[in-house]
Structure 1
Amino acid sequence: KWPFTYWNYESADEYVTEVSISLPEGVEITEMPANLTIQNDLMDYQLSFEAVSGNQIEVRRKVRTNRSTIPASEYDRLKALAQQILEAEEQHIVFR
């Protein structure tokens, strides 16, 4: 098996995404997803959700790779990490 070379798929080793969501007046947030922080030798990952006012939500995601090449022997570990991130990013903000 061949190693996974990060640079074959991405052109940057760090990404920051910030999204601001404005809800209409009268809409109430009833459930916010859990924040997630992962720090290991493969990557640092942070996903946070914050209600900054009654109708404003800030979502922030930061991803930083710590290695440019991952050996085939660590594919299972990389796959589990990717699955954990996908599950976190598929959470829903619930409001009424």
Structure 2
Amino acid sequence: MSSEQERAELDRRARQGETVVPGGTGGKSLEAQEHLAEGRSRGGQTRKEQLGTEGYQEMGRKGGLSTMDQTGGERAAQEGIDIDESKFRT
């Protein structure tokens, strides 16, 4: 299959609602999914640059503790887990 045929097949599947590009969830076409994936990747990288590596890791720890009932901060306090928010430089 040529590259053009592959892209046409992926576009057809994307238009049927399938996610064909990692990170492209919600895109209604192959091109839309590619743009979404690129923007999401760039957004995460920008946030990491703003927070610094340590701050980004701390934010991930805090977010990973969140549940449907509690925020990450509430659960960390309840379980005695220390989250160093001073690392969240802005």
TM-score, with structure 1 as normaliser: 0.25
* More helix, by proportion: 2
* More strand, by proportion: 1
Bigger relative contact order (CA 8 A; separation at least 6): 1
Structure of larger gyration radius? 2
